[in-house]
Amino acid sequence: MEVARAFQITRVKVDCCRDERFVQARRVNPNNFFAELGRRNVYKVAIAYAVVAWLLLQAASILFPAFDAPPWTMKVFVAVIAFGFPIALIIAWAFELTPEGLKRTESADELPKKSARGHAWIYIVTIAGAISVSLFFLGRYTSSKQSAELPAKSIAVLPFDNQNRDPDSDYLSDGIPESIIHSLSQLPNLKVMSRNSVFHYKGKDMDAQAVAKELKVQAVLTGRMTQRGDGLSISVELINAQDNSEIWGQQYNRKLADVFAVQEEIAKEISEKLRLKLTGAERQQLSKRPTENLKAFQYYMQGRAYAQRRTREDLLQAIHYCEKAIEEDHNYALAYVGLSDAYENLGLRGYIAPQEGRRQADESARKALALDENLAESHAALGLAYVTFTPSNFPLGDRELRQAIELSPSLALAHFYLGNSLARQGRLDESLEEYLKARELDPLSSIIARGVATPYYLKRDYVRALELLRQANELGPAFSATWEIGVYIQNRLLNETLTELGKAKGERKNDSILIYDTGIVYAAQGKRAEALQIIKELEEMSGASLSQAHWIAKIYATLNEKELAFSWLERGLATGAIGAFYKDDPVWDPIRSDPRFEALVEKMVAPIKTPGDAR
């Protein structure tokens, strides 16, 4: 019905075609027809319409940019004016304005003599009518268009293109977008893709819409950076992923020392262009700069790059650069967070004694919190130190992790760490919820993708767990956590898994996780001698720290050597040499019914006291 009313004028035109007088006018010679056009003021309306249209376009070209109108509005405005032109001519032919109102135009032989007065009204009414009809269609068109232009609530900040092609300045082209991600992640009404997922596109020439589709975001920030001496040129573009239009763009030409001010300005501009309503506290957080020291920033970014790789050597390098960053700026809280993360991974992976990893991670996280209690990453680091190692303090750890999420809802790792904690407590449904939230924020992280499989494995849904692990393997190397080998064992993929482990060992020399994985597969196959040889290797690697104590216990449990399994669990617990312990892990099924197992579990999850717990 609405469309029929809108095209009312079309029916009038059809009626005119049926009108005998109109037909006669068409049959007359061209001179008479053109005379009729003149008598009906069609020429004058056309000229008047063109003049008014030109004036409107001039005004729009000035006003639209002044009011930050989206780029598509000018195109639509031009289309509406063009669409209105034939409508105005049809109206001029078919109607005239009389003292009695708007009436059908009479033919020349029936037209009484009229005064020329009021002809201006004809032009005004005709043009107004044409524009009114056009605006109807504008409203219909833009109603759907504006739905695509609603303020974006999700964004991916891509690594900037380093125009220098110089690895030494990558800390800027990587660090600036990472700092923007850090700032925007604190806004509760904006979903921000994590660093890990967006840096997947570093060095790749990809369309913003394609990136947005893969990451499921509404807006994408791209940028280019050029450094010349102490000069810095940064060009950024905020793109609406739905139609690939530019929401905002800016060129910054500043001194290198002003890089932190530029980061702050870009973050604020993004929040404004996405029309986010910020509280005073949120605006203040956007203005906070983690450091003002460019050298410290460079060292921190170098440490971050090493930490991503998580080998023993890379983690030690990460510690080295974070310490250098702290030497440059003693108040650099994020650098202490970097230290905490590196020590936690060293201890968890058996590269150093777990108790030493826990102590160093805890100490560094507390220093970060002392410097900035509103830094989400500090709370996440402390929470991780509480829950990663055994014995674990889940109440305090969960408290810190939830505080981190409250401060930075888009901090994917906080959700991931909380998922780990809940899984270890046996709260598997809650755990899965947190893992899924982490994956939504960091969809290209292989570590987080593996985490999603954890609750399914612990629930004994081995088929689904295997499916998820294989998806994770497409994002990163397999066999990165000790629990996941159990998925392959429970699916009886023993020979295939040994083959894959052999390939992985060729790439990851002396990786203790791969050695453990090989040993437990041998145990599952009943190859006792081979499994015992692996245990010997793990003992030699552990040395006095016994950092692989519960790995050895798992192999003995799989061999159904209950006494030796309990012996190694007790030794590990006594020395703090047990990392993440999942009480629901099927690997413990051979000893689960023994009362000693439940007693050990209670000791492993009992709250413990560490300095500063009263905080």
Instruction: Report how far residue 125's alpha carbon sits from residue 123's, in angstroms, rounded to the nearest whole number.
Output: 6
Instruction: Report how far residue 157's alpha carbon sits from residue 222's, in angstroms, rounded to the nearest whole number.
Output: 7
- The pLDDT value given to residue 300: 97
Q: Residue 421: in which H helix or E strand, if any? A: helix 412-424
Q: How far is CA 107 from CA 40, 41, 525, in A?
A: 9, 13, 102
- Do 274 and 262 form a contact (C-beta atoms < 8 A)? no
Give the list of residues 6+ apart from residue 429 with CB closer than 8 angstroms, or none. 455
Per-residue model confidence as pLDDT tens digits over 490-512 = 999 999 999 999 999 888 888 88
Instruction: Report how far residue 180's alpha carbon sits from residue 299's, in angstroms, rounded to the nearest whole number.
Output: 18
- The pLDDT value given to residue 414: 97
Give the list of residues 6+ apart from residue 403 with CB closer than 8 angstroms, or none. 376, 379, 383
Instruction: Report how far residue 610's alpha carbon sits from residue 493's, in angstroms, rounded to the nearest whole number.
Output: 43
Nearest to 416 by CA among 448, 386, 393: 448
Lowest mean pLDDT among 51-65, 165-179, 453-467, 554-568: 51-65
- The pLDDT value given to residue 578: 74
Cβ atoms within 10 Å of 563's Cβ, excluding its own: 11
Tokens of 474: 């497409």
pLDDT category at 92 given cuts 50, 70, 90 is: low
Higher pLDDT, 506 or 316: 316
**Mean of all residue pLDDT scores within the chain:** 83
Tokens of 476: 């990163």
- The pLDDT value given to residue 116: 44
Burial-class residue 225 by CB neighbours within 10 Å (0-12, 13-18, 19+): buried
- The pLDDT value given to residue 11: 47
- The pLDDT value given to residue 145: 45
pLDDT category at 10 given cuts 50, 70, 90 is: very low
Cβ atoms within 10 Å of 519's Cβ, excluding its own: 27
In the chain, count of helices (H) and strands (E)?
A: 30, 8
- The pLDDT value given to residue 83: 73
Q: Residue 156: in which H helix or E strand, if any? A: strand 154-157
pLDDT category at 25 given cuts 50, 70, 90 is: very low
State yes or no: pLDDT of 1 exceeds 80. Answer: no
- Give the mean model confidence (pLDDT) for residues 133-151: 45
- The pLDDT value given to residue 50: 76
Higher pLDDT, 21 or 252: 252
- Do 355 and 348 form a contact (C-beta atoms < 8 A)? no
Dihedral sign for Cα 197, 202, 204, 210, please.
Answer: positive
- The pLDDT value given to residue 86: 79
Tokens of 226: 């050029």
Q: How many Å is the Cα radius of gyration of the chain?
A: 35
- Do 460 and 560 form a contact (C-beta atoms < 8 A)? no
Tokens of 306: 């090493």
State yes or no: pLDDT of 213 exceeds 50. Answer: yes
Per-residue model confidence as pLDDT tens digits over 532-559 = 999 999 888 765 455 678 899 999 999 9
Instruction: Report how far residue 449's alpha carbon sits from residue 342's, in angstroms, rounded to the nearest whole number.
Output: 21
Tokens of 341: 């993360």
State yes or no: pLDDT of 67 exceeds 70. Answer: no
For the residues of 528-564, what is the DSSP string, one character each? Answer: HHHHHHHHHHHHHHHGGG-TTHHHHHHHHHHTT-HHH
- Give the mean model confidence (pLDDT) for residues 467-489: 92
- Give the mean model confidence (pLDDT) for residues 552-581: 89
Give the list of residues 6+ apart from residue 436 with CB closer than 8 angstroms, or none. 452
Q: How far is CA 424 from CA 62, 257, 569, in A?
A: 62, 46, 16
- Do 128 and 190 form a contact (C-beta atoms < 8 A)? no
- Do 459 and 430 form a contact (C-beta atoms < 8 A)? no
- The pLDDT value given to residue 23: 47
All domains in the chain, ordered by first residue: 2-148 (no CATH), 154-287 (3.40.50.10070), 293-408 (1.25.40.10), 477-615 (1.25.40)
Q: Indicate left, alpha or beta for 229 from its phi (over 0: left) and psi (-120 to 50: alpha).
A: left
Per-residue model confidence as pLDDT tens digits over 417-433 = 999 999 999 999 999 99
Nearest to 321 by CA among 339, 337, 333: 339
| Distance, C-alpha 135 to centroid of its chain | 38
- The pLDDT value given to residue 64: 64
Instruction: Report how far residue 63's alpha carbon sits from residue 399's, in angstroms, rounded to the nearest whole number.
Output: 51
Cβ atoms within 10 Å of 110's Cβ, excluding its own: 8
Question: In terms of DSSP bridges, do strands 161-162 and 219-228 run parallel, antiparallel, or are they unpaired?
Answer: parallel
Q: What is the dihedral of CA 505, 500, 492, 551, to 10 degrees?
A: 20
pLDDT category at 13 given cuts 50, 70, 90 is: very low
- Do 332 and 291 form a contact (C-beta atoms < 8 A)? yes
Q: Which residue has the tokens 């005239």?
A: 96
Question: In terms of DSSP bridges, do strands 154-157 and 219-228 run parallel, antiparallel, or are they unpaired?
Answer: parallel
Side-chain-facing half-sphere of 252: CA atoms under 13 Å: 23
State yes or no: pLDDT of 237 exceeds 80. Answer: yes
Instruction: Report how far residue 311's alpha carbon sits from residue 231's, in angstroms, rounded to the nearest whole number.
Output: 36
State yes or no: pLDDT of 68 exceeds 80. Answer: no
- Do 424 and 430 form a contact (C-beta atoms < 8 A)? no
The whole-model pTM stands at 0.75
Q: How far is CA 321 from CA 169, 297, 366, 409, in A?
A: 16, 10, 19, 28
- The pLDDT value given to residue 117: 47
Amino acid at 540: E
- The pLDDT value given to residue 29: 53
Tokens of 373: 């209690």
- The pLDDT value given to residue 12: 43
Q: Which residue has the tokens 């994985």?
A: 517
- Do 235 and 250 form a contact (C-beta atoms < 8 A)? yes
- Give the mean model confidence (pLDDT) for residues 390-409: 94
Q: At what angle do helices 259-273 and 294-307 cross, to 10 degrees?
A: 70
- The pLDDT value given to residue 546: 57
